[in-house]
């Protein structure tokens, strides 16, 4: 049970870090591309509230929220041109989504179960 909680929190931190890193670089390039829901990543203390103050019962819902932010960023920025798509943090976002999500039969993207994530997946941005 402890191991399961640690894995969830590690995934939370990974996804949060990838999103945050991309948003910070995107702010330098074109702040208007940042979705309204994702502006909170620029606030001081948001990381602590999102990751370190998360109880085990909240981990799944926060994981879903972070993945929705990741998908919103990808959707907005995939057509933004090479200035954005050539950013290292954008490439990390794409890799993280490929490694940690699946598409279902309706093309909805969901987070992979812990055991379905490859050991070669992105572990640390």
Please report the pLDDT score of residue 54 as a whole number: 75
Return the domain boundaries, the chain.
Answer: 2-116
Greater confidence, 117 or 62? 62
Of 50-54, 68-72, 101-105, the one with minimum mean pLDDT is: 101-105
* Helix segments in the chain, DSSP class H: 2-30, 46-47, 59-77, 82-85, 88-100
The H or E element spanning position 103 is strand 101-103
Whether residue 87 contacts residue 25, with contact meaning beta carbons closer than 8 Å, is answered with: yes
pLDDT at position 52 over 50: yes
In this model, does residue 51 exceed pLDDT 50?
A: yes
Over range 62-72, report the average pLDDT. 91
Query: Over 90: is that where the pLDDT of 104 sits?
Result: no
């Amino acid at each position: 049970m402890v191991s399961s909680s640690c894995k969830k929190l590690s995934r939370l931190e990974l996804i949060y870090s990838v999103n945050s890193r991309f948003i910070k670089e995107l702010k330098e390039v074109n702040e208007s591309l940042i979705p309204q829901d994702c502006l909170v990543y620029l606030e001081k203390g948001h990381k602590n509230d999102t990751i370190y103050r998360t109880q085990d019962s909240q981990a799944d819902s926060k994981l879903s929220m972070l993945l929705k932010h990741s998908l919103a960023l990808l959707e907005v920025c995939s057509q933004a041109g090479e200035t954005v798509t050539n950013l290292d943090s954008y490439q990390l976002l794409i890799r993280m989504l490929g490694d940690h999500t699946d598409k279902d039969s309706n093309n909805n993207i969901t987070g992979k179960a812990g055991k379905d994530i490859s050991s070669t997946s992105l572990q640390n941005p």
